[in-house]
Amino acid sequence: MSREPIVRALNLRKEYSSGSGKVLAVDSVSFELHANESLAIVGESGSGKTTVAKMLVGLESLSGGALDVLGASRTHLPRTAAQRRRWASQVQYVFQDPYSSLNGRSRIGAIISASIALHATDKPDAATLRARATALLDSVGLPERFFDSFPHQMSGGQRQRVAIARALAANPLVLVLDEAVAALDVSIQAQILNLLNDIRAQREISYIFITHDLAVVRQVAERTLVMENGKIVDQGDTDTLLDAPSHPYTRALRAAVPGPGWRPRRRDDLALAK
């Protein structure tokens, strides 16, 4: 692991205006991400984890603090198309819902080819674009027959593979995966997590894995930050944090993960337990 981090965040702060005044969504969040490292940011809905991710890729402005990637500041939003493209070539975002994030009117090959062309340092012709797009699809486990498919013709897991391939087309240093497996069933989740581990081993890419689900964290991240109400309340080596959580909120999140023999409790069971 390199000594100099790829991403450095210092005292990140994000405020939103509301009818009653200011709402503090992120409060004094600091972390570093190094080369070929996977960092999970965990918390319930409203904890601020997705806001942190969006600040990193320039989808949200900072209200305070400092953020840099490869030593270059991202404290202010990009002002030019060239700057936005440079940011995107370094850090890519994979959204939770691949159906809404993919253009339903475009074929899969066109979606991947457009991303390749946008970030290519050369000017590939149509044949070269197709070859590169096909290779990218193959790298995420999708055969060439999907090249001419539309997103609605694919399953949720297949669409998420397309979203990952599109992100990889920029050859980024960091992938931000925002609840990237939350919309998938458990068996497909496992396939996507295994795919992400394979990609990381092949490309030496770094991940920031945003999730509310501690059940998947151990499979993808060496370090974990736990957020509650906009603040980091716990952090550390993932195995240590999950095996012996010190903060009550982390313990509550871990306790919410279904274990062997778990079954949903019926309402009458809950009434009898009171």
Residue range 193-218, pLDDT digits in tens: 999 999 999 988 999 999 988 888 98
Residue among 63, 85, 87 at smallest CA distance from 73: 87
One-letter amino acid at 77 equals L
pLDDT, residue 253, reads 87
The CATH architecture of the domain made up of 7-258 is 3-Layer(aba) Sandwich (3.40)
- Give domain limits for the chain: 7-258
pLDDT, residue 269, reads 47
pLDDT, residue 260, reads 54
Tokens representing 215 are 């059940």
Residue among 67, 110, 112, 113 at smallest CA distance from 90: 67
Measured CA to CA in angstroms, residue 177 lies from 56, 98, 101, 110, 159 at distances of 12, 11, 13, 22, 14
The two beta strands, 38-42 and 223-228, are parallel
Q: CA 156 to CA 134: how far, in whole Å?
A: 20
- This prediction has a pTM of 0.88
pLDDT, residue 270, reads 41
Report pLDDT digits (tens) over 246-272: 899 998 888 877 665 545 444 444 444
Report H helices in the chain: 49-57, 81-90, 98-101, 108-119, 126-139, 156-168, 186-203, 214-220, 238-243, 248-255, 267-273
pLDDT, residue 245, reads 87
Mention every residue, 6+ apart, whose C-beta is less than 8 A from residue 219.
193, 197
pLDDT, residue 259, reads 60
Please identify every stretch of the chain with a pLDDT value under 50, giving residue numbers as ranges. 1-2, 262, 264-274
Tokens representing 191 are 């396939």
Tokens representing 140 are 């995420």
